[in-house]
Amino acid sequence: MGKAQAYPQGEGRIGQAIATFGTDHRMIWCNAAFARLYRAHGAAPDLAQVLDGSLFGAVPEAMGGGLYRLPELELQLDDMDGAGTIVTCRQIRPPAQDPGALQRLIETRTRQLIASEERLRIIANEVPAGIAHIDEDLTILYANRRFARAYGLTPETMIGRNTRDVLHCNTMEQSARFFEQARRGMVVDFEMRVELPGARFKDVRTLLRPARPSSGEVIGFYLVSIDVTRRKETMNALMRSQKMDALGRMASGISHDFNNLLTIILGNLVPLSEQLGQSPLREEFLRPAISAARRGSDLTRRLVSLARREELDPLATDIGEATQEICALLRSSIPSTLTLELLHDPVLPAALVDRSQLEMALLNLALNARDATGGRGTIRICLSAHDLPAEEAEVSRIPAGRYLRILFEDDGCGIRPEILERIFEPFFTSKQGGAGSGLGLSMVYGFVQQSNGTIHVDSRPGIGTSFTILLPSVDLSPAPPRARSAPLPARPPFPPAAQTAPPRHGVTLIVEDDADLRHLLCRRLAHAGHAVIDAASSQEALALIGQIEDIRAVISDIDMPGTMTGLDLAVHLRRHRPDLPVTLMSGKPKPLQPWPEHVGFVQKPFDPAILLDRLPSPWPLESDAAP
């Protein structure tokens, strides 16, 4: 039988779906319920399809009696004594829902949906990125608060507007090809500098992701913009810092050799000048040469002090003297059309500060003033003592008492009120086109804070800016100042070589790798009555000390070739020969590392006569001792 037969007698009154199948698995008969069931599943009336799972699901292939449960049906197969199979299907219906419970479920799911939407809204508005949903016509369908605020709008007023009407024309021109790629279903990431309203510029990294509904067709894209301006400024500042560090290291290295040269120049010019007496040649040629060499020495010392990187080293500092030195350096580097004035009280209190940091702070203020004035105008630095009353001290959160006040003024363009409160923020700059690093004033602020002082700024656009810095005097400092070296007494000129007396002191050992400088020092000490031997390295010096008992003093350069520096030599001698006086010299500033006790220091370049004053008195030889 190729077609199922329907038996109308009473079969319509049977609620269950029933069908009979022959031994050939072909359907013999089914009631209307069964016909509706298999037609709904789109299957043919064939028991094989029932049993192989194509009609109702996973049913075993083998025929036989039994109860089979499917997700929505229950199948009962009964054998007709070998003549076929009766299949009874009963549809399993889920239990009836309580209307009240269903309503409560709907309300719960609605509240959950609202809470989820609120969470997503808060996250989208607070995340540090601009987010927008743009359709295929470049119309904005959604924008978070940050994206809208960047263009001076609100999310509500931005929705429905075309990106061409929101983005700057230059930004839109550069972004058009990326938007087109996203509209075609591509994942796009790019970085560019965008122009925002108010002539503001930001470096932005943008991510475009296609928007695909369930059908898979691209109907727009999502846009995520991340402001990377500060990151790029940080990277640029880091690169500048690395360059400055390299420059400082290079300046420090060059200063050693350069100061050696200046020491040789001064060491030969000064005695030549003394030999000539009042000769016109001395006034016309030698005195300018000696003055230029000394100016070169001062310039080198200031440059190294500014470039070196070291820990904060506060000392009782004469602010007037330090300011005069930095002003002398600035006058040679600022335009001649910019006037630099320094005014100060005749008597100023000393302050406990790191001198190099103070000079760096004044340098940064001067460079800012130069840019503010456009290189034309006046920079005025006023130094005075200031007694800070208790009420003002409470506002500034510093102790009341005596301070050193630095007033730094310029008559430049001034600072706009809206950015005045941000000028001390790291990496903040009002200069356009990346002209400033945003680190200068933050370094000034950090120096003042570390010095337990305070800084205030007053500015009026078009008139000028003034910075007021208060640095506590030594009396207010939390730690006692270090003792300053007393000025060296004047030493009379050494006698000419012909009048030199025979050596009457123990032997002095000169340790210096520069042959010309070593020769100069040996000659000057010999003229002063010292017996001198020399060494070109610390290892050679140790060998001589072990062989010659009459060595009574050691003068050594710090930077020496080999594995042992002059400082290492001094530490070794203080440990094994504490009776042997040691003086170290260097073209660099005195190191801040722990300094050996009772070891002298002199900085190059110097007049060798100064070195004689720094030398401890050597012991006389036994042959020279009184009987």
Give the separation between CA 485 and CA 473, rounded to whole angstroms: 19
DSSP class of residue 46?
B
Q: What SS3 class is residue 165? A: helix
Q: Which residues pair with 291 in a beta bridge?
A: none
- Given the DSSP bridges, would you call strands 200-210 and 454-460 parallel, antiparallel or unpaired? unpaired
* pLDDT one-digit tens code per residue, 244-297: 666 666 666 666 677 777 777 877 777 777 777 777 777 777 777 777 777 776
Using pLDDT thresholds of 50, 70 and 90, give the confidence band for residue 337.
Answer: confident
* pLDDT one-digit tens code per residue, 147-195: 999 998 999 999 999 999 999 888 899 899 999 999 888 999 999 989 8
Q: What is the mean pLDDT of residues 582-587?
A: 86
Whether 589 shows a pLDDT value over 50: the answer reads yes
- Given the DSSP bridges, would you call strands 454-460 and 401-410 parallel, antiparallel or unpaired? unpaired
Q: What element of type H or E holds 250?
A: helix 229-276
Higher pLDDT residue, 171 or 236? 171
Using pLDDT thresholds of 50, 70 and 90, give the confidence band for residue 329.
Answer: confident
Whether 397 shows a pLDDT value over 50: the answer reads yes
Q: What SS3 class is residue 456? A: strand
Find out whether 191 and 202 touch, Cβ atoms under 8 Å: no
Which tokens in the block code for residue 78? 């009964």
